[in-house]
Homo-oligomer: A and B are copies of this chain.
């Protein structure tokens, strides 16, 4: 019997978490361990400087463990406190897509998945390009996500991850499509800009915002935003390229002085 941990970064009360649980509860012993509150854009943040509390709660009929921490904390709480060793980490469904390396590296949904991957546990992160969580309550869209997630998780439970894949990121389009594309992440989705304003006291301040770049065909961004299909993005825990060579002569340092 597989042990599966479900977490997210929008918090225990997000309908995205509940539909993920509903999609996979037939696949084994499923445990829900998640932040009590939304911890979006936290990346791989860990709570090292304050105590973590774990509360067993029932949310919408599901037994869950809520923590006052980050999605990455939740993975450790699951492993060390609630479940012990487990076989699969599922994270999401995030309100909003996590497309491009830029989003992936900053996302808490992916952060939890990477955290599990560091422990050698396969992880799948789910995100949907919805404007807000209300779309998860639309019965047709909700059924679409539940059925698709079930099919995708079933595939990976049976086949396992290919060698070299540590995390799989799945992004759903805003409108229903059952077409799957296996695509790499774009490098960049946003060009950040600062918008200058003046407050009532005459002092300058800025809003940082992201302007979307033209999506490049063959990437996750293009698949989800332009073609409007499901993007499946296999990720490898590595920021080094075997083809890169850097040589620095020892002589650039003038030696012990």
Contact call A239/B241, Cβ cutoff below 8 A: no
A215 part of interface (Cβ distance < 8 Å): no
Of the candidates B47, B197, B241, B256, which one forms a contact with A208 in the assembled complex, judged by CB atoms under 8 Å apart? B47
Complex Cα distance, B76 from A106, in Å, reads 16
A225 part of interface (Cβ distance < 8 Å): no
A237 part of interface (Cβ distance < 8 Å): yes
Contacts of A196 in B (CB 8 A): 81
Task: Give 7 CB contacts A-B under 8 Å.
Answer: A46-B208, A53-B205, A53-B206, A54-B204, A76-B208, A179-B253, A238-B241
Contacts of A165 in B (CB 8 A): 244, 246
Of the candidates B47, B180, B205, which one forms a contact with A248 in the assembled complex, judged by CB atoms under 8 Å apart? B180
Contacts of A46 in B (CB 8 A): 41, 106, 192, 208
Complex Cα distance, B210 from A76, in Å, reads 11
Please, which residue of chain B has its CB at the minimum distance from the CB of A245? Answer: B162
Contacts of A182 in B (CB 8 A): 246-248
Complex Cα distance, B244 from A235, in Å, reads 9
Complex Cα distance, B119 from A210, in Å, reads 13
Contact call B246/A43, Cβ cutoff below 8 A: no
Contact call B237/A106, Cβ cutoff below 8 A: no
A66 to chain B, nearest CB (A): 13
A51 to chain B, nearest CB (A): 4
Scan residues 66-85 of chain A and give those whose CB is less than 8 A from a CB of chain B.
Answer: 69, 73, 76-77, 80-81
| A239 touching B104 in the complex, CB below 8 Å, given contacts A152-B252, A209-B48 | yes
Contact call A244/B151, Cβ cutoff below 8 A: no
Please, which residue of chain B has its CB at the minimum distance from the CB of A154? Answer: B252
Contact call B239/A164, Cβ cutoff below 8 A: no
Contacts of A256 in B (CB 8 A): 176, 178
Contact call A238/B239, Cβ cutoff below 8 A: yes
Complex Cα distance, B162 from A180, in Å, reads 36
Complex Cα distance, B248 from A165, in Å, reads 14
Complex Cα distance, B225 from A196, in Å, reads 45
> 1/0 contact trace for A153-173 toward B, CB 8 Å?
011000001111100100000
Stretch at the interface among A4-12, A13-21, A127-135, A183-191: A183-191
Contact call A80/B193, Cβ cutoff below 8 A: yes
